[in-house]
A and B are shown apart, each in its own frame.
Chain A
Amino acid sequence: MTLTVNDLRVHYRTLRGEVRALDGVGFDLADGEILGLAGESGCGKTTLGKSLIRLDGRMRHAGGTVTLDGDELPLSDDRAMNAYRFHKISLVPQYSMSALNPTRRIGRMIRELLASRGVSVDTGELHRRLALVGLDPDVLERYPIELSGGMKQRAVMVISTLLDPSVLIADEVTSALDVSNQQAVVGALRGLRDKGLVTSMIFVTHDLGLTSHIADSIMVMYAGKLAEKAPTKVLTTEPRHPYTKMLIGSLPQVGARYKDKPLSGIEGSPPSLLNPPAGCRFRDRCPLADSRCAEEPPVVEVAPRHSVACWKAA
């Protein structure tokens, strides 16, 4: 088992109170597994990814544990987490296009970053990895501004995985790309896993169609909580949670590319996470809701490796 997340709660401190962006999420990530993480904007995908690597100043670890290869991660101890960052757990951020220092040549930035982590650069290996994502070694001599968006994205992918992390979090790496670039990036990510450069991966997206191309299993989140998690095949063909069903139902055919539509095709909007209502958070939009849904549905394993949080799923 690479990664075990147990009842993780992470809140944002704001002037109006705490935003409960991650409100009790638990799941496992096996060795070699690519987990697709889907859900509409604001459901807490980025928050989950950030929680696993670095809480920013506004985030508070409000409860739960994360275990990586047997060690419990010291999430709220910024200093102690450093030992895990980059080496064990790494991130391709949602903002990859602007993740590189604009005034440093990329090669030099990589050298300085690695030196600061006490690692020296193996130039041959670096070139091989660039080739793996389709980049020429001469990008190392360029400034970020001289690269296209897709190239920057891939450069960041290479940098983030240089130390062969156990877990890579790829946050919306395909959102800003056109279709052909999306395929290339997804292919490159799978290549990294297949070659063992990255043990396991969390692939964050709001594009379910794309996720099913790359992920072994898919986890759907709703308003800071887990809605459903299952192997890709199962989740896309026999979803149990009404929310997942609506997501899948809005796809013309599973795996079809459907721009932006999939997760916005459902009427209504998720509840505020500042003071979320009790009970099932999907209640307002759920066609199956009844009086029992005023109570919060527990996450239940309805079949092996298939968990759902819905009273009507069992």
Chain B
Amino acid sequence: MRRYFARKLLIYALTFVAAVTVNWMIPRFMPGDPVAAMVARARVSQPEAAEAMRSYYNNLFGFDEPLWQQYLHFWGALLQGDFGISIFVFPTPVGDVLLDALPYTLGLMIPSVLLSWFVGNWIGALSARRKVLDNTVLPVGYLLTAMPYMWIAVILAWAFGANAGWFPISGGYSLDITPGWSTAFVLDALHHWVLPFLSLFLVALGGWAIGMRNMIIYELESDYSSYLAALGAPQRLIRRYAFRNAVLPQVTGLALQLGVLVAGALVTEIVFAYPGLGSLILASIQNQDFFLLQGAFLFIVIGVLIANFLIDIVYVVVDPRTRTGMAGGTS
């Protein structure tokens, strides 16, 4: 058991290092010069002033050092939680910009991922035993999963926002309210949260429901189910076993889907101009703010790694077979 987790942790650490390195490389070897862009934005006419500004920024961001030093400094700063200074919202530290956006992304993702997983599995399990339900769940489920995140977000925004006017279709809160822990703000934020949440929830829901339905049907036809039925065990017991065994691949599926879910959340944020990491990434690309871009990607990588690790632990807890495998056969 301990060796299993030690090995897993090592894999996660290596993934992290690789992700950080790639992350560091991409903006540096990307076309475009962010410092030049900033200098241009400042509209200084004298060449000397522009030059002074350029070297000031180069020095500030560390671009005047050799690459390997930049890389080491990058790690050093990273380990101190220093992600650099944002160019887009200069001179706010990237860490602060990201921390402001993070609650919105997490508040969108965690409930939509977990709820769609639970509700989807539940609907799938129900539809595996009710023909009528099955006939609706299957087509609707396929429709939902096949739908790109962007579409469903646009459709929802059009139907419930622009048309019905029930929900705001843009932003994370109204502009006339200051963010804080007041009831008014929380209610307002919730109101803005509904549509982006719903679009993420719906797309994922279909996939989980179909997966669960198929897995349960497979489990109900497996040998252990036949054996229990031959011994006259009630359907209740057989279904309970089938459900339990069918959930296991769904847990793995959750781990595999995380990347897709994150990408979906980012796109959805952009559609709804929701002030989370997705919108920040868009802004940082538009403004060539690669410190911000790096920081956002790192946050996402760390988040996905943590989530994966949690799923690993859950899987070990729910599937005895992985546990026995770890102990090396018999326990």
A290–B236 Cα distance when bound, in Å, is: 56
Q: List chain B residues, Cβ under 8 A from A82.
A: 232
Shortest distance between the CB of B236 and any CB in chain A (Å) = 7
A62–B320 Cα distance when bound, in Å, is: 43
Q: List chain A residues, Cβ under 8 A from B237.
A: 112-113, 116
Q: In this assembly, does A190 line the interface, its C-beta being within 8 Å of a C-beta of chain B? A: no
Flag if B224 contacts A100 (CB, 8 Å).
Answer: yes
Flag if A143 contacts B324 (CB, 8 Å).
Answer: yes
Stretch at the interface among B82-90, B199-207, B241-249: B241-249
Contact of A85 among B231, B244, B324 (CB under 8 A): B231
Q: List chain B residues, Cβ under 8 A from A104.
A: 241
Flag if A145 contacts B231 (CB, 8 Å).
Answer: no
Stretch at the interface among A89-97, A233-241, A301-309: A89-97
B residues near A, CB below 8 A? 222-224, 226-234, 236-237, 241, 244-245, 248, 319-321, 324, 329-331
A residues near B, CB below 8 A? 50, 53-54, 56, 81-87, 90-91, 93, 95, 98-105, 112-113, 116-117, 142-143, 145-146, 156, 159-160
The residue in chain A whose Cβ has the minimal distance to the Cβ of B236 is A116
Shortest distance between the CB of A283 and any CB in chain B (Å) = 35
Shortest distance between the CB of B97 and any CB in chain A (Å) = 46
Q: List chain B residues, Cβ under 8 A from A81.
A: 232
Flag if B230 contacts A54 (CB, 8 Å).
Answer: yes
Most buried by B among A50, A105, A117: A117
Q: List chain A residues, Cβ under 8 A from B233.
A: 113, 116-117
Known: A99-B223, A113-B231. 8 other contacts (CB 8 A): A93-B227, A100-B227, A102-B245, A103-B319, A103-B321, A116-B233, A145-B324, A146-B331
A159–B231 Cα distance when bound, in Å, is: 10
Given that A103-B319, A112-B237, A116-B237 are known contacts, is A86 also in contact with B224, CB under 8 Å in the complex?
no
Flag if B227 contacts A86 (CB, 8 Å).
Answer: no
Contact of B222 among A90, A98, A112, A117 (CB under 8 A): A98
Given that A103-B245, A113-B233, A146-B330 are known contacts, is A93 also in contact with B321, CB under 8 Å in the complex?
no
Most buried by B among A54, A81, A84: A54
A95–B224 Cα distance when bound, in Å, is: 9
Flag if B331 contacts A95 (CB, 8 Å).
Answer: no
Flag if B331 contacts A53 (CB, 8 Å).
Answer: no
Q: List chain B residues, Cβ under 8 A from A117.
A: 231-233
A117–B226 Cα distance when bound, in Å, is: 16
Shortest distance between the CB of A135 and any CB in chain B (Å) = 14
A142–B323 Cα distance when bound, in Å, is: 12
The residue in chain B whose Cβ has the minimal distance to the Cβ of A165 is B231
A82–B230 Cα distance when bound, in Å, is: 9
Flag if A103 contacts B222 (CB, 8 Å).
Answer: no
The residue in chain B whose Cβ has the minimal distance to the Cβ of A102 is B321
Most buried by A among B222, B223, B232, B241: B232
Q: List chain B residues, Cβ under 8 A from A91.
A: 227, 230-231
Flag if A90 contacts B231 (CB, 8 Å).
Answer: yes
Q: List chain B residues, Cβ under 8 A from A101.
A: 224, 228, 241, 245
Q: List chain B residues, Cβ under 8 A from A50.
A: 230
Contact of A99 among B224, B234, B241, B319 (CB under 8 A): B224
Q: List chain A residues, Cβ under 8 A from B324.
A: 143, 145-146
